[in-house]
Amino acid sequence: MEETGPSPFDEPPTTELTNNTELSGTPSPISGFVAPEVQGRQKSPMPQVFGILAVILSVAGVLLNLFGLLTTQAEIDLAREVGENSTLFVVWSWLEPIIGIIAAIVFGYAGLQLYNYKKQSIFIGLGAVAINTASGIMASYVQSQLQETLSDSSEWGQLIGGIGVVFTLFCNACCAMLLVIPLMISPQDLE
């Protein structure tokens, strides 16, 4: 019988490499398929921008409410001179700046958390906005009662109260949107 060539069961020939042998060239894939380079998606900077804006608004809110707290006694004295002696006015004059300071600090904390891409910051901030809205509506009522007493006109008091409510709702809606816009723009970036 004639041999036609090497058998597939024979050992393939081997070559011994020494330490002096260097391989050069570029590796080529056997199948011709080149895997694409995988790059991670960068986080959007929008939550950080809105977080900084929330912190700036918070600092302004704390400063304005501190000023309001410092001028409360003068406001009460002025109201007593014109004949406003209601307990509601006196209590609310002291309570409103304190509530405002607390709400501004919580809003600033929410802005700081938003800067760090935390989703919980939106809910914390919306809670602070809700507290501030309720406080503003109550302040509008108290001011309308004061104006009604000063002018002896219920229409004038209602007008002042209505302007206060509209202003309160508009400002707090802007603050709420400041927190919600990053969630609408890039929800996948918030943790």
- pLDDT digit string, tens, across residues 107-120: 999 999 999 999 89
76, 18 in Cβ contact below 8 A?
Answer: no
Tell me the C-alpha to C-alpha distance, in Å, between residue 24 and each of 14, 21, 30.
20, 10, 17
Residue-wise pLDDT for 17-33, tens only, equals 555 555 565 655 565 55
Are 78 and 88 in contact by the 8 Å Cβ rule? The answer is no
pLDDT for residue 169: 96
Give the residue ranges of the chain where pLDDT is below 50. none
Q: What is the value of pTM for the model shown?
A: 0.75
